[in-house]
Structures are given as C-alpha cells and as structure tokens.
Structure 1
C-alpha cells in the first residue's frame, strides 16, 4: 500500500478514537484532521475547503435558523405543552404521549432543540402525575431520535444520504421518502417503551429519598420542594442591617461576604413607606441601614460570625423569601459554553441576572464551594431571580435550559411573529415535498423570511446555528473525499465485494446497519453517515444492486443512538435530569437497537427493493 493510503487510514482511525475518547471538542478534532489531510498533501486546499461551501452544510445551517425561529417565538413550547396536557397520569399513557409529541417536533426541528423544549414539560407532567422523571426522560430522548427518521430534514444524516445520491447523478430521497420506514420504527419504539422498556427503566424517585415529589394537582415545583431537593433547607437565614452596622454604606464587593464570612446573599430587601422593594443583588449593591438580607450558608458558624462581627440582627433561620424572588431550576446542556467553568468564573449574576443558590450533579446536591465547582453537562442549578429574567431564561436554550419554576405563570408565551413562522414552516415543507425548487433554496429562503418577519432580535438568528456542528460536518466531508482519492474506499469495497457472504444484499444491509449503529454510539451520527454513505453507494454499484435500501439503512442506523449517555447530545441532556447511570441506557438501548435492526431488515427491502 502507498504512503497516502497509510496516512489517510491513520488520520481516519485517530479521528474516530478522538471522537470516542471525547476529551476534545468534536469540531476541533474534525478541523485538526482536515488540516492534517492538507499538510500531508493528500488533499489540495480547494478540496479541503469544499465542505464549507457544500449545499448540504448550507441547508443544515438554514434549518438551524428555521428551527430556532420555532423555538424563539414560543411555537414549539405551545405545541409541547398542548400535547402534554392529554397525557393523563398513567405511566404508559404519558410515555406514549410524550414520545409521539417529541417525535412530531423532532421531524421538523433539531432533536436537541426538541428535547430542550420538551424537557421542562415532561418534568412538570411527571411531578403532576407523581411519576419519577426517570420513567419518562429516556423515552423522550429516544423519541427525538426516532422522530428524525420521519422526514428528510429530521436529522442531518438523512440529508447526507440524499445528497450522496444527488452527487452520483441519481434521484435523491424526497421529503417524505423516509416517512414509511420512519413511522414503522416510531411505532416499534413507542410500543417497546410502553411495554418492555418501562419495566427496564429505573424508578429513581423510589430509590432516592431526596427526589422531591409535588402534590397530586401541582404542575410546577413549590419552594419547599426545590429547597429540599437541593439540600439547602435550614441554610437560608434572614438578617437585618441596623444603624451602626459595619455593613451599612458599603457594597457587597467591599464587604466580601462570600470570601470573608463564607455566606452568599440571595436577595436584598429595602423597606420603604410606599412598600418593600427587592433590589438587584450584585457586587456593586450598596447596603443601607434597615435593609434585610436573605443569605445562604452551609456553615452555621459563618452566620454567627457575620452576626457578631458585622453587627447585624438575625430575624429568622427559616425565612420566607420575598414574593418578588422566584426560585427556578436550570440544567447545563452538553454543548454549553459553561461546561468546565465555575459560577464564579462565569460571573453568573452579571451574565444571567440570577443568583445561584445551589447545585446538583444528578445524583446528589453539591453542598460545598458551589461557586468554585466546575459545571458538567447535566448539572442542575437552583437559582433565585425575578420575573423578567425568568422570561429571558425560558428562551435561552444554548448555554442553560430552564426546566422548572416555582410558579406556573412564568411559562413562555407566543410572540407576535409566531403566526408568520408557522406559515413559513408550512410553506417550506410544501415546497420541499413538491420539489418546485432545490431543497437548499427552500430552506435558505425560509431562514431569511424568519428574520424578515421579526422572529429574531439582533444577531439571535446567528446564535441559533450550532456552529460547532457546522464546522464538524464541513471538516469531516473532505475526509470521505480523501478515502476515495487515495483508494482506501476502493480497497474496502473490494474486500466486501469479494466476500461470498457479503455479496448477499440482506447481509450487506445488516453489515452497514450494524457498523453505522455501532459508530453512532460513540461519534456524531452525521459524521458516521458522511463516512459510510459513499461506501454504501460504491458497494451497491459494484454488486449491481440498488443503492436506495443500503443508504436508507445507513440513515436509519445513524438515528439509533440509544445505548450510551454520550451517544448523542439528547442522551446527555436527559442523563442528569433523570439521574440516570450508564447501565440504564445499555439496559434499554441495546434491545431497542436490535429490534430496530430486525425491523429494518424486513421493512427496507419491501419499500426499496434491492433490484435496480
């Protein structure tokens, strides 16, 4: 074998290993592999940068904008909540309702965005029905993956295999080409999770006494429940600043309550003749005589020291927070820029307008040095804030997700542009299903129109694009070109074609599905499909069989990221909220993957015969 063959094979293996280890960002790994292909002379600069101008990448970026408009205007929230209301209180009925609602949304917007919308809805439903969230959140994640099988835009993997056909000069998959097989898979997935799956899922509410359950009729979480679940009961005190106190006339920064006395201020209440007001609580907040401080400390000795040395008066060690201060829960999603940083480094209050009261790692509260603990995906934060900040946090789905509040009135509302966005979405789907113009044109026009009608403010449209995914996809695509250019793809194809067993189309479909499904447990499903779609197409050509069933098998397999928490961002997103362990995904995910494999071997050849 030539040096180029060895080099591109090494780069491919190293890239996959780096993806699996997951120590570095996937977009960074993909970009480094791209640079390696250029520096070794395997690809020219033009070949290496071709992915960034590819219509596939442009279409995916446009779909992020359209999906972001659906989220930003509150349309997705209203759909999720409306469908969630019919779930009732039966575990099976709730599971079916949640999965069908999630799959419906996931067919048209990103699976991560869908789970971000549905996560607080499902948590609220589980509390109202007195069912552990661990019974519903894995079905939610799996439904988002299954919903991606329904349409061309359900997941980038579907677009990848369709574009592969187009580049080969063949008729690509149409908008609803995936729907027949996808509907069967969805029915299989829902049926499995409502019967066998629900028995395999853990019931963390029964295993953990710290999991707070709300009352039978409650939809949102009460203050006592939130304080209890984060282990901060008895850690909040109310003190007043009398005239003559050393705290009066100084800012929180000057006093250094956190560093000097090891206490955190949650709220500052100023009493006035026209009524009490809750002032913003940051480092520059000036304390005045008569102010009331609501402080949190896990060390009772620290509070006593503040009373003694700060000359403040203790009012209560079990206070009721002011009515204008609201408690809520945030979860840190996998792609968040906050991952690996501490609350102190982020300057959380200045950035989000909320005070972090406590943290939870999904298994137990983080009781010590909350401000200096690095955040991990799935960590939840208990915050104290006001109504305007809550409204903003409902719409913030990039770095933090608001999953519950203490009061139902703070749910998101539809914006004036919501109706226009729905009309734009329906128009885009109609144009894509009829093929009047190229799919990429329809998507880019729809993305532009969402901005024109005011679905976004300022640069929010750009923020809705997952640029890490765009860079990763554009960087991986030239790797497939390198495999073909150096002959590696041909060598693998020769090995498959010359095997007497793999010459059977059904066995070939089994192989492609298995490899794709296995790789999708460790690396991006889009990257997997980018690498395997050309192989499927070349093998089909060499064996003189139709490429459609093989490419459909690759697309379906790429959406079976069920068996590990790191298989996809949606799995990682529900892991902390559901208090799941690694084995929970294995126990439920492997049987479902095998079931989907069996159904694929039956349904795909019926819908797309192997005969050209």
Structure 2
C-alpha cells in the first residue's frame, strides 16, 4: 500500500478510538479527521468540503426542521394522553412500541423518545411498574421504525447518497419499507415473547428510589422561624422522622467539620437527600426555605411557576459545566432546586456541581417558558406539574406538510432534498416553529459530523485502501459465496456501529460493500442495504445509539442489560436479513 493508504488507516484507527472513548464530541472528531486528510493532501480542498454540500447532509438538516415542527406543534400529545389509560405493564410496552415504530419512520428518533419517555415514566409510577420493563423496548422500537423509510434515519440517507456516488441508482423513499416492516414485526414479537423476560424486573437504581426518578440532593436554609433552631442534626433525627437524610452543614462558605453535632443557626444551609415529596413536606414542616429558590427570588411573583424534572441529554454541551454556566437561569428564568445523579450521592453545593449526562434536575420555571424548555434538545423534560397544551391547528398543518413532503418525494415529483427543504420552509412560514427556533433545535453536531466524515470515504476509495480490505476479506469468505460476503458486511457494520456510531460506520462500509459485490460479480444493492440496516439497528450497548443512552439513565439499566437483550435481537435481525435482503434485492437481478 502507498503511504497515503497507511496514513488513512492511521486516521481511521485514531478516529475510531476517539469515537469509542466519547471524550471528544463526535463532530469535533470528524473535523479532526477531515483536517488530517486535507493537510496531508490525501483529499483535495474541493473533496474535503464536498461533504457539506452533499445531498444527505442537506436532507438531514431539512428533516431535522420537519421533525422539529411535528414535535413543537403538539401533534404527539393526544397519542401520549391516550397511552396513559393503559395500566398493564405488558400492554403498555406493546402499545408504546406499536405507536413509536411507525412514527419513527418519519420523525427523528430522539424527539420521539423524548416525547414518550415522560409518559412511560408517569404510567410506570402510577401502576407501580419498573421503568426498566418499558423503556428499552421503546428505544428499540424507535430504531426499528427508522429503517422503514429512506428518510427515517440519517444513516439511510447517507447510505443512499454514497451509493449514488458509487454509480448505483439509489433508493426510493419507501424502498426499505417492506424489509423494515417485516424486521420490525419480528423484533416486536421477539421482545414480547422472549426479550421481555430478559429485562430486569426492577431498575438498578439505588435502594428506596422507586418514588421518583431518583433521590434528590438540595439545599435548605434555616430561617428565624425554623423549628430546628438550636437543635443538632443528630437530635432532629431527620431520616427516621422525615425520610430526609443530611449530607453536609454549610455555614457561610464553610463546611462544618462535625455537622451532626453542630447546633443549627439562622442562615445555616443543610445539604440533604431524599425524594422530592418528602423534602418538600419536611421543608414546610420545619419552616425552612429552599436556598436556590431564595437566591433568585423575584419581586413580582404573579407569573405562574411550575416544578419540572429535566434530564441532561446525551452529547449535550451542558455536560461538564457547572449550573451557573448553563444559562438556565437567564434563558428560561429557571431555578435548579435539586439534582439527582444515578448511583452517586452528591456532596457539593449545587452551584459547584459539574453536570453529567443523565443528571436529573428539579427545576422551578415560569409556566410560559416550559414550551421553550421542552424544545431545548440539550434537555429532556421528564415530568411537569402542568401539561403543555397542544395547538391543534398547527398540529394539523405540520402533519399535512410532512405528508406532502413524503408524497412528493415518494412519487418522485421532487428530489428528496428539494422536497425536504420546501417542507421546512413551509413549516417556518406557517408558524409550526419560530425562525430562530429552527436553528436552536437543529442537531448541528450530526450535520457537521456528516459533512466532515464523508471525505473519509473518499480517501478510502482514492488511496486503494478499499480494494486492499476487500481482497483480504474475500480470501476469508471466498469469491463464490455471495451470502457469506453479505453476512460478513452486515456483521462488520454492526460491530463498527457499536464502537463508533451509525453514521461513521456507514461511511467506512458502503464503499467496501460495493467493492465486495463487484469482486464476486453480483449486484451491489443488497450489500448497501445490509450496511444501512446493520448501522441503523444498534441494540447491544447503551452508547451505540442516542435513544439507548436516554433510556439507560432513566430506566436504571446496567450495561449488561443491553447486551443480554440486544445481542440476540441483532442475531434475529441478521438472520432474517440474510434471508430477506436477497429476496427484495437479488444478487443477480
């Protein structure tokens, strides 16, 4: 191999390592790879920047806008309310999957799971069902639905775009629907008959955390009227009497060295832990005030305020920042009252806590700001005292626009990128989302990732690395076994997806898959389909797909729970794909 090919191998290895480590944001990793390819001269400047004007990148951006319009119009709220009537856990699991899977074919998976996650948690609480029985199937159903259409997931669009660049005719909007629907039915059947017995019957959250998302840590200030004045924490017996457990005693900026033996004074701040209802009951009974709320008290208290539970979303830029750096206070006029971190007991002042993915914040916020808070993709609103009312007229308009986009592209009246951009413009003009909201709601990390990672595929082809890999692979499976080669492509894509995510794995594998097909003299289409389906159905780890990460924290799962449930499901999908893909896309058309 040439030095350019070896350099490309080194860039791929480093990129995979960075993706797997999750220490650097995925879009930054892609930009690092792009810069390395361009600086070394492996790709030209035009080739380096071509990914940002690629049809897949443009279409994904437009589909984000369409999904945002559907989400903010309130069209999903009636479905969510309908599901709250279900009381049997197995029926709730089935109903959620049957609702989420079809919607996943047209709506961004993260938005779907973010919408139905609070509902599932609320129903589980009402029926005393462990969330771990429901949330993982919901995340899997979103992925199953995503592969049913070309626009259901960004990796499908990316596979189609790369196939066209490789000289293939590409795929229509509904070309994946037949295979995707059969796999979704098989997957849901497997989960209901076999997989649900592999799910943990109780979530693996710490003990006594079944009343809320978790036990919260908050700050309570001793007032002049408090019944705890001149008592020690030990004398008050807070845990036994109130179900609230003291962690630290803060006096000014000092931590008291022996908090349980210190007599409480006016202005002392107790760092306590417990379920939110018990904390609130204790605060009122003991005449304490919530320190964060008092810190941001406002003169005009006429605006209705609600309390909401908000989770830090995967890949959120808020991660690693302290509360004061998150802009929650000035952006939403919100006050963080308490924090819960799964598996950890926080012992710092709330203002000093560095936030992590999965942290749940108890937030006091203006009712009028809740729609904007729900629309913030860096946060997931898990519960709220007052429900946001949907806007029926806008919901109907948003659905009509999305349907028009799907029909126009499905009937080939317009190219998919043009139809999607036109739909996004129509939603903006009809007020389904604000003109500023579309930029705030756009997942720019994915768009930058797509634009920056595509030149890596160009480098693989240009340096001859693709042909070298194909020759080595074909020596293993043989040149006379199309099915064996298809299986190799599927499994390798599935493995890469669990390590580095679905979009990068598509970029690496589509060119190789096409070369494998040419090497054995068969149609490349079934191989591209295998890459698309293997990449879009990542079930084996909580980090392979964003929806898995979301339910991992909220459901109290262990890493191994995904492996027990997901690896057999990947096996089912793989086996069925080996049978069905050649039927839909023959090796010798």
Question: What range is the shorter-chain TM-score in?
Answer: 0.7 to 0.9
Distance in 2, matches of 1:569 and 1:207, equals 20
Equivalent residue for 1:180, pick from 174, 178, 181:
178
Note the 1:187-266 alignment, pairs <5 A. 187-204=185-202, 208-213=206-211, 229-230=215-216, 235=220, 261=252
Q: Is the 8 A contact 1:189 1:592 kept in 2?
A: yes
Distance in 2, matches of 1:319 and 1:96, equals 45
Could you tell me how far 1:429 is from its partner in structure 2? 0.8
What CA deviation, in whole Å up to 9, does each residue of 1:244-291 have, x standing for no partner?
xxxxxxxxxxxxxx986369xxxxxxxxxxxxxxxxxxxxxxxxxxxx
Partner of 1:390: 370
Change (3 A) 1:578 1:434: same
Could you tell me how far 1:498 is from its partner in structure 2? 4.6
Equivalent residue for 1:96, pick from 94, 119, 141:
94
Q: Is the 8 A contact 1:237 1:316 kept in 2?
A: no
Partner of 2:295: none
What CA deviation, in whole Å up to 9, does each residue of 1:141-189 have, x standing for no partner?
1111111111111111111222233334433211111111111211122
Note the 1:403-414 alignment, pairs <5 A. 403-405=382-384, 407=385, 409-414=386-391
Partner of 1:295: none
Partner of 2:279: none
Partner of 1:70: 70
Distance in 1, matches of 2:387 and 2:566, equals 35
Change (3 A) 1:597 1:416: same
Could you tell me how far 1:532 is from its partner in structure 2? 0.6
Change (3 A) 1:353 1:39: same
Secondary structure (helix, strand or coil) at the match of 1:411 reads coil
Distance in 1, matches of 2:261 and 2:284, equals 15
Could you tell me how far 1:319 is from its partner in structure 2? 7.0
Change (3 A) 1:240 1:453: farther
Secondary structure (helix, strand or coil) at the match of 2:383 reads strand
Q: Is the 8 A contact 1:66 1:446 kept in 2?
A: yes
Q: Is the 8 A contact 2:538 2:544 kept in 1?
A: yes
Q: Is the 8 A contact 2:457 2:508 kept in 1?
A: yes
Answering whether residue 273 of structure 2 is matched by residue 304 of structure 1, we say no
Change (3 A) 1:505 1:315: closer
What CA deviation, in whole Å up to 9, does each residue of 1:415-453 have, x standing for no partner?
643222111001011111111121111111111111111
Distance in 1, matches of 2:260 and 2:75, equals 45
Answering whether residue 583 of structure 2 is matched by residue 606 of structure 1, we say yes
Equivalent residue for 1:562, pick from 524, 528, 539:
539
Change (3 A) 1:611 1:327: same
Change (3 A) 1:305 1:18: same
Distance in 1, matches of 2:573 and 2:205, equals 31
Structure 2 unpaired stretches of 5+: 227-248, 270-282, 291-300
Partner of 1:274: none
Partner of 2:14: 14
Partner of 1:255: none
Could you tell me how far 1:327 is from its partner in structure 2? 2.5
Give RMSD over aligned pairs.
2.8
Distance in 1, matches of 2:347 and 2:369, equals 25
Could you tell me how far 1:305 is from its partner in structure 2? 3.6
Note the 1:174-573 alignment, pairs <5 A. 174-204=172-202, 208-213=206-211, 229-230=215-216, 235=220, 261=252, 304-306=265-267, 316-317=285-286, 325-364=305-344, 366-393=346-373, 395-405=374-384, 407=385, 409-414=386-391, 416-499=393-476, 501=478, 503-573=480-550
Q: Is the 8 A contact 1:334 1:377 kept in 2?
A: yes
Distance in 2, matches of 1:507 and 1:98, equals 36
Could you tell me how far 1:235 is from its partner in structure 2? 4.9
Partner of 2:50: 50
Q: How many residues align?
A: 539
Q: Is the 8 A contact 1:356 1:383 kept in 2?
A: yes
Partner of 2:274: none
What CA deviation, in whole Å up to 9, does each residue of 1:329-377 have, x standing for no partner?
1000012221111113325322332221211112355354232111111
Distance in 1, matches of 2:462 and 2:54, equals 18
Could you tell me how far 1:575 is from its partner in structure 2? 1.5
What CA deviation, in whole Å up to 9, does each residue of 1:535-577 have, x standing for no partner?
1112212322122211111111002211112112111111211
What CA deviation, in whole Å up to 9, does each residue of 1:193-243 have, x standing for no partner?
222222211233597542234xxxxxxxxxxx68x84266x95766669xx
Secondary structure (helix, strand or coil) at the match of 1:520 reads helix
Distance in 1, matches of 2:535 and 2:114, equals 21
Q: Is the 8 A contact 2:204 2:556 kept in 1?
A: no
Change (3 A) 1:488 1:456: same
Secondary structure (helix, strand or coil) at the match of 1:522 reads helix
Distance in 2, matches of 1:300 and 1:415, equals 59
Change (3 A) 1:302 1:339: farther
Change (3 A) 1:364 1:37: closer
Could you tell me how far 1:475 is from its partner in structure 2? 0.9
Distance in 2, matches of 1:448 and 1:17, equals 39
Could you tell me how far 1:58 is from its partner in structure 2? 0.6
Q: Is the 8 A contact 1:123 1:133 kept in 2?
A: yes
Equivalent residue for 1:587, pick from 564, 580, 583:
564
Equivalent residue for 1:127, pick from 125, 137, 146:
125
Secondary structure (helix, strand or coil) at the match of 1:340 reads coil
What CA deviation, in whole Å up to 9, does each residue of 1:24-68 have, x standing for no partner?
011111111111111111111111111111111111111011111
Change (3 A) 1:411 1:14: same
Could you tell me how far 1:506 is from its partner in structure 2? 0.9
Distance in 2, matches of 1:448 and 1:503, equals 50
Distance in 2, matches of 1:456 and 1:110, equals 16
Partner of 1:152: 150
Distance in 2, matches of 1:304 and 1:145, equals 55
Partner of 1:279: none
Change (3 A) 1:369 1:501: same
Structure 1 unpaired stretches of 5+: 214-224, 242-257, 264-297, 309-313
Could you tell me how far 1:5 is from its partner in structure 2? 1.4
Q: Is the 8 A contact 2:205 2:343 kept in 1?
A: no
